[in-house]
Amino acid sequence: MRFPSTWVLNFICFFILFNLACSFQTTFWFQVFGQVPSPFLWILFPVYFIVTRPGFGSVFICYFFTLIASRYSSIHLGNLLIVMSIITFMILMLRSRIFWSGPSYYMLISFGSLLAFHFLLLAISFSLEENHAPLLLGDRFIQIILTLGFCYPSYLVMQKIDNLLGTQDSFIQGLGEQRDL
Amino acid sequence: MFRYVNLSFKQFALLCVAVILPIVSFNVEQSKSETTWIAEPLDLVKQGFESAFFVFTAGVRDTTSEYLNLIGIKQLNADLKLKNAQLEVNQSRFEEVLLENQRLKKLLEFKETNKMQLIAAQVVGGDLFKDHKTITINKGSEHGLKSGMGVVTLQGVIGYVFRPERWSSQIMLIEDRYSVVDAVVQRTRAHGIVEGKGHSGCALKYVERSEDVQIGDVVVTGGLDNIFPKGFPVAIVRNVESKRSTVSLKVDLDPVVDPAKVEEVFVISNASDQDVGNQFFSGVFTPESSTEAASR
């Protein structure tokens, strides 16, 4: 299987965008709004990759994004990987059964992923850690609402990158339309 | 089985790797420093983006404050009020510079009057997740920071270096649920460990039930391991419970330092076995006395 050069450029663009999103959350939002919960922008990128890319490639790219996100926090990489792997496989299974192209599907999946992320992280923490994570229901609710506001614009930006680089068609032609694991 | 799920051997192998990888890396124990060769280039990129955002944000804040100052001026007489607004803007800038100067003077005096070796740093960011309480400062291993070094402000202990990177570091605050700091109750010298509870402050653990701990008592650093100087304020006792079913007291604490208001910190590179003793206060701690002590 050949890797077109546009795939590399595509990956670099998303790598830069992802770091921009994480830095926006940790630095810009922190400096301007202080302790107000920031939107969960970083999770929109792995969700987009899982929704729009073929199966196994998207799994490992999702893991790579998770590795980057773990550097912006004191959260343990293993905890985050477990949660993201469950979310990844859940989305892949759902995508193999129900799928339609367009931003509405992406926004629905993003909303579900946000809920699943918070639930799974709390579940793992409550079941395995003595000093478990705080519930922070208000903060998590605000985060989800704020993130949904960024869903559609982020989808447009990511789609624009894919269309400009012509990568969307080459993914589909090179690997086939893989809906199943 | 392969026929039922319609997988080739290659796909099955990839699926196994994808499932095993997070399980292998899963470990609830928190290790102090996790910088590996694969993470170092990612850390460098991260530091670049955070520094850029910090500079951009400072510019945005300056511009916004100038705009807010000028809004009321536009409604008054144009010439004199505009002059007045310009003078007010300059004055507010000077006042801000003056306050910053006073703050930095106190930090310098604090640094000079102590035997400890201190590295001053600015807070540039926070944690990606609200579950965790960490801040990022603009000093790293290039400036001599190492994992485990204590971080303080004029008012007291704020945390310790959790992950030093090349030009920045992540500081674990004492409120973080993975944080542990050796401490004693200043009045009675009852020994315990300050553990973070997330967003509801801290707790003093492993204090024997026979110890005398009261609401309002000040908890200071114990000075073990020479990470923090001995006697540095950590928190104030908010609540004490003694239950017959446990051998330890349940002591809830409020940290003396509010991390939301911290802009500059000191990293203790060498505590020099210093005992600050009653340098901050000699009696019962109140928030007002802490402010007076800091302003002296």
pLDDT digits (tens, 9 = 90+) for B43-91: 889 999 999 999 999 898 888 877 777 765 666 667 777 777 778 778 8
d(CA A151, CA A160) in angstroms, rounded, equals 14
Chain A residues with CB under 8 Å of B128 CB are 22, 25-26, 42, 69, 72-73, 75
Of B53, B162, B172, Cβ closest to residue A28 = B53
| Residue A41 touches partner B, C-beta closer than 8 Å | no
Domains and CATH numbers, chain A: 5-161 (1.10.1760)
Residues 6+ apart with CB under 8 A from B223: B182, B229, B230, B231, B271, B273, B275
Place of tokens 């799928």: A99
Which pLDDT does position B36 carry in this prediction?
74
A93: part of which helix (H) or strand (E)? Answer: helix A77-97
- Check CB contact under 8 Å for B43 and A134: no
Q: Which residues of chain A lie closer than 8 angstroms to B28, CB-CB?
A: 76, 78-79, 128-129
CA distance to partner chain B, nearest, from residue A134 (Å): 6
Measured between CB atoms, does A140 come within 8 Å of chain B? yes
Residue A11: CB partners within 8 Å, gap ≥ 6?
A61
**Residue B144 scores a pLDDT above 70:** yes
How far apart (Å, rounded) are the C-alpha atoms in residues B248 and B241?
9
Within 8 A by CB and 6+ apart from A29, the residues are A36, A38, A39
**pLDDT score for A91:** 92
Query: pLDDT value at position B82?
Result: 73
Chain B residue closest to A143 (CA)? B130
Which range scores top for mean pLDDT: A2-11, B5-14, B250-259? B250-259
Which is higher by pLDDT, B104 or A15? A15
- Answering whether pTM is above 0.90, one says no
Instruction: Please answer whether residues A154 and A44 qualify as being in contact, where contact means their C-beta atoms are separated by less than 8 angstroms.
Output: yes
Minimal Cβ distance to A129: which of B7, B28, B134? B28
Under the banding of pLDDT at 50, 70 and 90, the label for residue A180 is very low
Contacts of A65 in chain B (CB under 8 A): none
CA distance B140 to chain A (A): 14
Distances (CA, A) of A30 to A24, A75, B276: 8, 18, 33
Per-residue confidence (pLDDT) for residue B75, from 0 to 100: 63
- State the amino acid at position A103 in one-letter form: P
Residue B156 CB coordination number (10 Å): 24
In angstroms, what separates the C-alpha of A107 from chain B's closest C-alpha? 21
Give the per-residue pLDDT at B34: 58
Given an 8 Å threshold on Cβ–Cβ distance, is A128 in contact with B163?
A: no
Quote the pLDDT of residue B293. 37
Give the pLDDT band (50/70/90) at residue B23: confident
**Contact flag A23-B49 (C-beta cutoff 8 Å):** yes
Q: Which residue has 């770091």 as its token pair?
A: A19
Amino acid at position B70, single letter: L
Rounded Cα distance between B285 and B296, Å, is 16
Q: How far is A148 from chain B (nearest CA, A)?
A: 17
Closest approach of chain A CAs to the CA of B278, in angstroms? 33
The answer to whether the Cβ–Cβ distance between A81 and B22 falls below 8 Å is yes
Q: Would you say residue A20 has pLDDT above 90?
A: yes
Contact between B42 and A34 using a beta-carbon 8 Å cutoff = no
Do B176 and A139 count as a contact with CB atoms less than 8 A apart?
A: no
Least confident of A142-146, B17-21, B172-176: B17-21
CA atoms of B29 and B178, how far apart (whole Å): 10
pLDDT at residue B37 greater than cutoff 80 = no
Q: What is the pLDDT of residue B164?
A: 93
pLDDT at residue A2, as a whole number: 54
CA distance B91 to chain A (A): 23
A35 in reach of chain B (CB within 8 A): yes
Q: What is the mean pLDDT of chain A?
A: 86
Reported confidence tier of residue B296, pLDDT bands at 50, 70, 90: very low
| Predicted local distance difference test score (pLDDT) of residue A176 | 42
**Residues of chain B positioned with their CB less than 8 A from the CB of A77:** 25, 34
User: Per-residue confidence at B107, pLDDT binned at 50, 70, 90?
Assistant: confident
| pLDDT over 90 (residue B295) | no
Q: How confident is the model at residue B28 (pLDDT cuts 50, 70, 90)?
A: low
pLDDT in tens, A25-62: 999 999 889 889 999 999 999 999 998 887 778 888 89
The string of pLDDT tens digits covering residues B257-281 is 988 888 899 999 876 666 665 555 4
CA nearest to A35 within chain B: B260
A1 CB-near residues (< 8 Å, 6+ apart): A174, A175
Q: Does A177 have pLDDT greater than 60?
A: no
pLDDT of residue A179: 42
Contact A76, A66 (CB under 8 A): no
Two tokens at B28? 């609830």
The answer to whether the CB atoms of B178 and A74 lie below 8 A apart is yes
pLDDT of residue B35: 66
